[in-house]
Amino acid sequence: MRDPTGRFPVQFLIFLLSQKPADAAFGVRANPFPLGVPMSDQLQLPQKSCALRVVPQPSDANVHGDVFGGWIMAQVDIAGSIPASRRANGRVATVAVNSFVFKQPVFVGDLLSFYADIVKTGNTSVTIEVTVYAQRMSLAEEVVKVTEATLTYVATDSDRRPRALPALD
């Protein structure tokens, strides 16, 4: 590869420089799975604002580091109550957990993002779909959908009785 003077030819140096990943040159994160799943096929977080973000701590998990389902349910209830109380313009109470699926385990240190959307409203009730994604604590930014749930909240008055949802303009 070296020329008769012992130096590398210019063409070889240009070839080496051209091997630098384009992403790195522009400060974009390189694909951490170059031989695995292409980046375009990896799960991404939804392109919308999430209701809640939280990192489970050791006290939220069993001795193996698996986060308690009950802790996740509590966070889902909090996340769902945010759009529900906004729609109710005030206090709400959880009347039902209609469905709840733990699709993948959650570990201490995961960054959890809770997305909460209104899927139905009635006279006094608001039904919310909550989807939870985990970003695993590792260099490879793996995103996993861990939980899907649907909950119904009821707008309540100061006596904790159901009250009608305010009309939308």
The secondary element (H helix, E strand) that includes residue 120 is strand 111-121
Smallest separation, CB 31 to ligand COA (Å): 44
How far is residue 110's CA from residue 6's CA, in Å, rounded to a whole number?
52
Looking at 29-37, 48-56, 108-116, 120-128, which segment touches ligand COA (CB under 6 A)?
120-128
| Residue of 138, 69, 125, 57 lying closest to 100 (CA atoms) | 69
CA 71 from centre of chain: 16
Nearest position to ligand COA, beta carbon: 122
Check residue 113 for interaction with ligand COA (CB under 6 A).
no
Smallest separation, CB 44 to ligand COA (Å): 32
| Residue of 91, 57, 84, 60 lying closest to 74 (CA atoms) | 60
How far is residue 2's CA from residue 9's CA, in Å, rounded to a whole number?
7
Nearest CB to ligand COA, comparing residues 134 and 165: 165
One residue of 7, 43, 123, 166 binding ligand COA per CB under 6 A: 123
Residues lying near ligand COA in the complex (CB under 6 A) are found at 93-96, 122-125, 152, 154, 156, 160, 162
